[in-house]
Chains A and B, each alone.
Chain A
Amino acid sequence: MRRTSFLGRIALSLLLASAAASNAVADTVDDLLKDFAAQGAGNFSAQAGERLWDHAVTDPKSGEVRRCSLCHSDDLRRPGKHATTGKAIEPLAPSVNPKRLSNRADIEKWLLRNCKWTLGRECTPQEKGDVLVMIRAR
């Protein structure tokens, strides 16, 4: 009896912890989407995010064809690999990596850097919102 209630408590706290983690993702992304909406974006769509994700751009300096999956792999639930250094990148999908999309400063930093590297320009608020909605659903 005592043992079951102990296990039950562990299960409950695990459940609460994972709920808290997914809430953190939802809150952080929702806050960002609100800000993007205030900048004129709206109707964020995972399909549009997917299209941007698959969009390939040739880097004029190196001649490399770049797309998001080059580093993040084709499956967001799996680890990726940095295109230049080869260092492992943890999965982006919050369903397998709850740390993802939980820190606003990190999201903004990576969207800025990685849009610049991959597309050769910063992403618009609409594009950032679309991609976030797409990643959140994974």
Chain B
Amino acid sequence: MNRKTRLVAILLALSAVSQTTWVTQSLAATKIFPPIANAGYQKECGSCHMAYPPEFLPARSWNRVLGSLQDHFGDSAQLDAATQQRIHDYLVANAADKAQNEHSFAIMHSLNASEAPLRITATPYIAGIHAAVLDPVWGGNPRPKTLTECSVCHLRAQVGDYTMRKFTVTDEAFRGHLE
């Protein structure tokens, strides 16, 4: 190896290292949620509603949700003890207070330490963003009654991407607010 090739090789290696660092840094805090990685959660919770990314609620909220499945927003979502424990462990391990995700940071930042909401849409950050959609003045399409199914507006929600949205705002004043 002559001097020139050695120099090129060193430069290439250096650029590879710096690129890897850059990739690692941007992965460390992303806006995209990883896919749901628990078959039990997908099956048991996802048959009645979308299996929400665990990164949307702090562990203390998931503890409350899993501890009150007999009355899950008026419905019985009872599970056998073993399944319930597995789902609990998955949700808590990936909760908003542990996730390296920009949405999770914002959600945690909006909550007091004593607050443990049962609904994702009751966290101040998510509630604030969506207040317009539930306001009677909103003339948009779609016009959801509740916010249970994220994919109605967030077209890529199923792959953890909430950045892309689709709605039509018919009310001019509202449109002005959003733009």
Contacts and interface: CB of A to CB of B under 8 A. Distances in A.
B89 interface: no
Interface stretch (A3-11, A26-34, A83-91, A127-135): A83-91
B74 interface: yes
A116 B49 CA distance: 18
A84 B76 contact: no
Nearest to A86: B149
Interface in B32-85: 47-50, 73-80
A62 B74 contact: yes
A62 B74 CA distance: 9
Interface in A81-127: 82, 84-87, 89, 105, 109, 112-113, 116-117
Given A82-B49, A86-B149, A113 B73 contact: no
A116 B48 contact: no
B120 to A, nearest CB: 13
Contacts of A2: none
A117 B80 CA distance: 18
B15 interface: no
A117 B148 contact: no
Contacts of B78: 109, 112-113
A87 B76 contact: no
Contacts of B50: 87
B75 A87 contact: no
B74 A84 contact: yes
A86 B74 contact: no
A84 B77 contact: no
Which of B49, B50, B79 has the most chain A CB atoms closer than 10 A to its own CB?
B49
Contacts of B80: 105, 109
A73 B75 CA distance: 18
B149 A84 contact: no
Contacts of A62: 74
A16 B50 CA distance: 35
Contacts of B75: 84, 113, 117
A124 to B, nearest CB: 17
A61 B76 contact: no
A48 to B, nearest CB: 24
Contacts of B73: 84
Which of A86, A105, A117 has the most chain B CB atoms closer than 10 A to its own CB?
A86
A87 B49 contact: yes
Closest 5 CB pairs of A and B: A85-B49, A85-B148, A116-B76, A113-B76, A117-B75
Interface of B: 47-50, 73-80, 146, 148-149
Interface of A: 61-62, 82, 84-87, 89, 105, 109, 112-113, 116-117
Given A84-B48, A85-B146, A87-B48, 12 more contacts: A61-B74, A82-B48, A84-B73, A84-B75, A84-B146, A85-B48, A85-B49, A85-B148, A87-B149, A109-B80, A112-B76, A113-B76
18 contacts: A82-B48, A82-B49, A84-B48, A84-B73, A84-B75, A84-B146, A85-B146, A85-B149, A86-B149, A87-B50, A87-B148, A87-B149, A105-B80, A109-B78, A109-B80, A112-B76, A112-B78, A113-B75
